[in-house]
Structure 1
Amino acid sequence: RTGRGWLGNKAASGTAIIAELGAEHQRTGQWIVYTSADSVFQVAAHADTVPLEELYRACEMARELLVGEHAVSRVIARPFTGTPGAYQRTPHRRDFSIAPVGSTLLDRLAEAGIERVGIGKVDDLFAGRGITSEHTPTNRDAYRLIEQALDRGKSGFIFVNVIEFDQTWGHRNDVAGFHEGLRELDAWIPRLEGRVREDDLIIITADHGNDPTTPSTDHSREAVPVLALGPRVRARGLGERATFADLGATVAEYFGVARLAAGSSFLKEVWA
């Protein structure tokens, strides 16, 4: 349907397969396609070989095909630039997700008329349902937009993905970059706390590990942190939670919307 052939078609690290097949892709114009450890199908193309919008259209076609009993969760467009031996993925990645199969927290908030502000790629994760988002190429861009959203003084839900811990440092095994990114986040948190109001609740977490010290460039399997902050939050340990869905349940209770199908709220455990 795209008029181009393909290269790869195997499970691979994104940076490794671009290094392996990038020159052949530039010579032939064929897509580089590959899968990852999780349920994704990725399509890579050099920005000088395939226009960005053509790459997006090809991923939309793949999204239409990868459905049914063994549906793929996400199709990811992976544009890159550079020359052989020095290829670099660009910030113009785009995710084409399968639509959520049931009602989500975002749906409940929308039905209740609660404003939802997305920062980073969060809209792509929900196929654009229930939220729109301003994509950010760096963590600093995300921090700046969070500050701007809080300074507007409106009530609502701000949903943020800071991408560099995953995309720039985790997958590339950049230990020094990851370390500096954590220090930068830690130094920025007081600026965040200085902007919140009395009844604001901040939750910081991760959706998976991405240990840059392991030989693998894939996500790593470990317990992720959950940190609750705010003027009314009591300092205490939450222990090990049964499910990641506890976060959605907590936010639902905080906003007073209908309970979700999964998860147990920990709001009463931390809210004073």
Structure 2
Amino acid sequence: MPILIITPDSGKAGDKVALQSSGWTPNAQLVYEWPAINFRIDDLRADESGRFDRFISIDPLLKPGTYKVRMYERLKPTNIAEATFTSTNLTPGTKVVTRGNPVYFFNGDQVGPSPAQARKTITWLGNLKSAILVVNFANKPGWVLEQATLNGKNYAPTSHNNISAEVKDALINGDNTLTIHYATPFLTPHLGDRNTLTAYIIPDVETIAGLSGIVSDMPSLDLLVKDIDKRLANATIPTIIILVAIAIISVAIAAIFGKVGGFL
């Protein structure tokens, strides 16, 4: 009596599975078929020992479900073996949304009291549908988070130092600018105050099962992140004074040696 074993007995598009069968008449011509989808190959042949083994790949268009797989001898149809295989493919056209890795605007950055905002732009290439915006503002006493503005759209804080909001139709394939606004009720904040800012998006990654298999609308490798902050954007007044003093000293030294120096 012939036997047919499929290993593994379940899989998705592109997976390779092994067909192992034995007990056939030596050199018999074999028929291999999946009756439910009208798939049939009728020119296979057993070897001299009555075995037939082959690897197959799961078709991307095979719908989810459990299928009967059958083999029999063409000249002796009663010599038959059957097995089952379960497809875990997505139905063609099905969209599945999952969460991607966080993409950071700020990652534990230190921001000062003047100016009372922090701005960064990140650039990505890809079709990003929507995301969750998360902002954590570890503030000194008296400082509060006012709002976040992503590409011109405002998002209010969920608490005095946090924002968690779903953002849709505010994301573009290119430069995305996030501005964090914060303030203090004190008229003269302490110049030494430094607040820690973490802000990122958690993207929705949409996968589609289609004729070419499973593809991603936004592969993570397509993310290009760049920081276009100016050097002094978040500098405090003492920091600016120090940098100006260094510039003056540099020019003076250059003049002494008869050179005109530049300062970056």
Normalised to the residue count of structure 2, the TM-score between the two structures is 0.22
Larger Rg: 2
Greater helix proportion: 1
Higher strand share: 2
